[in-house]
Structure 1
Amino acid sequence: MKESVLIQNKIRIKINLAFLKKDMVFTISLVLAAVSCLFQSPKIEYLNFPVLISLFNLMLAIKAFEELRILDKFAISILNKCNNSKSVSAFLILLCFFSSMFMTNDVALLTFVPLTLVISRKTKMPMMETIILQTIAANIGSSLTPMGNPQNLFIYSFYRITPMPFFMTVLLLAILGIISLYFFIRRLDEKELKVEIPPIKITNPKKTMVWGMVLILIIASIFGVIPYQVAFIITLMIVAILNRKLLFKIDYLLLITFICFFIFVGNISNTNAVHVLASTSLKDSASVYFNSILLSQFISNVPASILLAEFTPNWKPLLLGVNIGGLGTIIASMASVISYKLYIQSYPNQGKKYLLKFSLYNFSCLAVLTLIPYVILKILKIF
């Protein structure tokens, strides 16, 4: 009897360990949150409820579109207009770059990465590199507008910046970013597409219209047009009326991963060591620039911008630094975690391969976009 219990326990432990190995980002976030709690007590204020609830709303809406085959319809229309795999990838990557300027980097990825995965399934075409480049594109493209990402919105309001100085500061980064993406896209495999898929008819246009309106409400709540609580209640009501099964089909581990990172970032940001380091190391524009890039790698770029803004009046190098700092590690920008989670949901055994390729692309891009702007701004005597 005891032996059978021991065997059952061993099997459970193996299953748990296998689960943790499959989702490395979740495991890392859980470990970081747990370890940081040993040094600092977590607080409820660390949890960014608007982000968590908006993410939950968006996942439900995108899953609804997936169930209604709206994503399939978009995928087929893209495939019918493109002759080869490279042109499909280029379209999807640029879609993320430009849409992220207006609908934020995380919303762009949550909307278009599932579309990429649908195309991958229909064509049997590997799209890992495309999704990684979509992530880079969203993180760079979102830097061009104040509403493109949370750190821009914070810096824009905190320093009371006017539109033109803001735009001129990030324009160089956006230009270098699109040039980098061009060279990355050129390296992608080019295979001729011979896919003849009949067009999909929308079988339930009324539901499609309702979910379209829900998506507009969710995006409006992200921009602060309506309270996020209102969007949350309306989304839940629509789910309850139209399709309750959606509540069991979304990735709750993604939400838990975000919660773990929020706890880790909150704990670390409030330690004395980090505050002392921030106050002593920000001596000039160059130090603000490099420290914001470096700090973003460990606590992500949004909290890095909030923390460093307290210690420097130099908003230009801070703005550039936290946007460039969104490249690099997978936690440098929380939007990158979204792409990763969506990908391994479809390909659970490719987590390690994804992280390796993600790191290769991101650190290459980080090196280029860190050094070139610095040299140019140094020549112009801005730094």
Structure 2
Amino acid sequence: MTAPFRRLLRSLREDRFFLILLAALVLLSAMAPARIAGYAVLVDWPTIAALTGLLALTKGLELSGALNRLGHAMVDAMATERAAALSLVSAAALLSTALTNDVALFVVVPLTLGVCRLTKMRSTRLIVFEALAVNVGSALTPIGNPQNLFIWHLANVSFGAFVWQLLPLVGGLMAALLALTAFAFEARPIRLHDDTPPAALDRGLLAASLLLYGPFLVATDLHQAAWAVAAVAAVFLLVRRSVLAQIDWGLLLIFVLMFIDLRLLAGLAVVREAMLGLGLDRPVMLYAAGIGLSQFISNVPAAIALAEYSRDWRVIAYGVNVGGFGFMVGSLANLIALRLSGDRRAWLSFLAYSIPALLVAAALGYVLLFGVGPN
């Protein structure tokens, strides 16, 4: 048994979320054993391929030493912890509007970890705020997250019209998030606690990682993720095969289990009957369902499910984007951020901020959609 495989097994044995998903799979399989043969069809393999490629490219950037050097530059440029936090949170939100929420995290979180190692800032809380930031920022545009892309096609409206409808929600939430960030992080001067010089730069690995990023994203957007990740793997096998060995394969396995578990759950007769009884013809119930379903099956499947019962795209968009807050499963970006943090107890800090964020976002969305009167 190789060392990377032993590390993976040890990591999974200690990962509570993985163990919960595994236990749920065992239970669901016992309830419907005939479906076991079709489990592979339930997995969104293009998403898994895209995540694999992003993990490899991000790991390549990290191992090249570029993020370490960028972290040193940020420490030199930022005067206080509050300024650093506001900059990183704003960058995460801005990147997510164009690069999608998960790609933004793959860029910002490794940089954040590097900055925090240099300055002894608390990385977990900052990464939690970045997870909240990409949920906010990605809600603005049709290409910010997968649920918006689906809803955009459903709505058949222009890019600008979509942005205009989501702008009040995103603007309000972003103002609240930046205010909370300024309050949560002190204006304590940043000090370089790690006096080791910046890491040596592996120019070959950096060039390979950067040159692959653009074509990989384009190919993924053209629904060619499988070929794209194969090309990325082939390049790293030639340039630095250690990159592939250090990918977080456990995260990919968790996503595979999530797809199977959530789609098995959504297919249960009791779940379908409950959906039919929700009164989704009423906008306020549709909005509440978007938030509630996201907490249990994630906001992308929630958007797809609700589109079967209503074409009120604006209410669905508000509901499932608000539903990205709250529990970890509300948005796949939450799981990516917490996993990248490397802190097994990060979910506690996440819930401490994300549950109140859900309440605030739900209230704001309700007022923007329905006003303050009874509905």
TM-score (norm 1): 0.88
CA–CA separation in structure 2 for the residues paired with 1:362 and 1:142: 16
Q: Which residue of 1 aligns with 2:333?
A: 335
Letter in 1 for 2:104: A
**Aligned with residue 208 of structure 1, among 206, 212, 232:** 206
Once the two structures are TM-superposed, the CA of residue 18 in structure 1 deviates from its matched residue by 8.4
For 1:275, the aligned partner's letter is R
2:62 alignment partner in structure 1:
66
Aligned mate of 2:235, from 235, 238, 244: 238
Amino acid at match of 1:371: A
CA distance in 2, matches of 1:66, 1:37: 39
Please give the per-residue CA displacement for 1:117-165, whole angstroms capped at 9, x wherever unaligned. Answer: 1111111221211100000000110011111101011111123233233
SS of the counterpart of 1:331?
helix
- The answer to whether the 8 Å contact 1:53/1:228 transfers is yes
Q: Does 1:110 align with 2:106?
A: yes
Deviation per residue, 1:6-63 (Å, 9 max, x gap): xxxxxxxxx9998567422222222223322233425322111111111111111111
- Quote the residue 1:139 is aligned against: 135
Structure 1: give runs of 5+ residues left out of the alignment: 1-14
Aligned to 1:111, the other structure's residue is in SS state: helix
Deviation at 1:195, TM superposition (A): 2.4
- Over aligned residue pairs, what C-alpha RMSD do you find? 2.3
Distance 1:342-1:301 versus aligned 2 partners, 3 A rule: same
Q: 1:313: Cα distance to partner?
A: 1.8
- Shift of residue 376 of structure 1? 3.4
- The match for 2:300 among 302, 321, 325 is 302
Residues 173-217 of structure 1: per-residue CA shift (max 9 Å, x gap): 111211121222122233211328687486443432222111112
Q: Which amino acid aligns with 1:252?
A: W
Pairing partner for 2:19 from 19, 23, 27? 27
SS at match of 2:190: coil
CA distance in 2, matches of 1:295, 1:343: 26
Alignment of 1:57 with 2:49, yes or no, is no
Is 1:229 matched up with 2:226? yes
Per the alignment, residue 316 of structure 1 pairs with 314
Residue 190 of structure 1 aligns to a residue whose secondary structure is coil
Q: Distance in 1 between matches of 2:132 and 2:177?
A: 8
Find the residue that maps to 1:38 and give its secondary structure: helix
- For 2:253, the equivalent position in structure 1 comes to 256
d(CA) in 1 for partners of 2:151, 2:325: 18
Aligned equivalent of 2:192: 195
Amino acid at match of 2:177: L
Counterpart contact for 1:169–1:320, Cα < 8 Å: no
Structure 2: unaligned runs, 5 residues or longer: 1-6
| 1:375 counterpart residue number | 367
Structure 2 residue identity aligned to 1:70: A
Contact 1:104 1:149 in 2 (8 A): yes
CA distance in 1, matches of 2:156, 2:270: 29
CA 1:190/1:31 → structure 2, altered by over 3 Å: closer, same or farther? farther
Q: Does 1:355 align with 2:347?
A: yes
Change (3 A) 1:16 1:237: closer
CA contact (8 A) 2:11 2:250 kept: no
Aligned residue number for residue 5 of structure 1: none
Q: Which amino acid aligns with 2:262?
A: V
Does residue 40 of structure 2 align to residue 48 of structure 1?
no
Moved more, 271-280 or 37-46: 37-46
Deviations 1:230-281 (A, max 9, x none): 2112111111110111221111110010011001111011122222222221
Quickly say closer, same or farther: Cα 1:161–1:46, change in 2 above 3 A.
farther
Q: What is the aligned partner in structure 2 of residue 168 from structure 1?
A: 164
Matched, 1:271 2:292: no
Q: Give 1:310 shift.
A: 0.5
Matched residue type, 2:149: L
3-state secondary structure, aligned to 1:312:
coil
| Equivalence for 2:4 | none
| Cα offset, 1:168, TM superposition | 2.3
**Count of aligned pairs between the two proteins:** 362
Which of the residues 319, 323, 331 maps onto 1:325? 323
Cα pair 1:33 1:261 within 8 Å, conserved: no
Change (3 A) 1:39 1:311: farther
The residue aligned with 2:30 is 38
Distance 1:18 1:210, change over 3 A: closer
What secondary structure, in the 3-state scheme, does the structure 1 residue paired with 2:325 have?
coil
Q: Distance in 2 between matches of 1:95 and 1:303?
A: 27
Equivalent residue, structure 1, for 2:149: 153
